[in-house]
Amino acid sequence: MPSLRGNELRIENACISLRNTTFTIEQICYEVGFKNVSNFVRQFKKIKNSTPSKYRKLWVNK
């Protein structure tokens, strides 16, 4: 089981991709090292208090 710190790093890398690419959530999930999308979204929400799609929308609208 990955450590919390490892997940935090993966999520930070995902945030960079969400802000700077048009990759899908699924592509970003696998790119940063998660094995399935549902776990990625769950961990993202736990760490960022937002879903990846809502996080991206906040950045697109800035």
Tens digit of each residue's pLDDT (9 = 90 or more) over 13-59: 999 999 999 999 999 999 999 999 999 999 999 999 999 999 999 98
Q: What is the CA radius of gyration of the chain?
A: 11
Superfamily, domain 4-60: Homeodomain-like (1.10.10.60)
- Could you tell me the pTM of the whole model? 0.88
Beta-carbon neighbour count of residue 12 at 10 Å?
A: 12
Amino acid found at 39: N
Maximum Cα–Cα distance for the chain, whole Å?
36
CA-wise closest residue to 12 among 37, 39, 33: 33
The separation between CA 30 and the C-alpha centre of its own chain, rounded to angstroms, equals 10
Amino acid found at 18: L
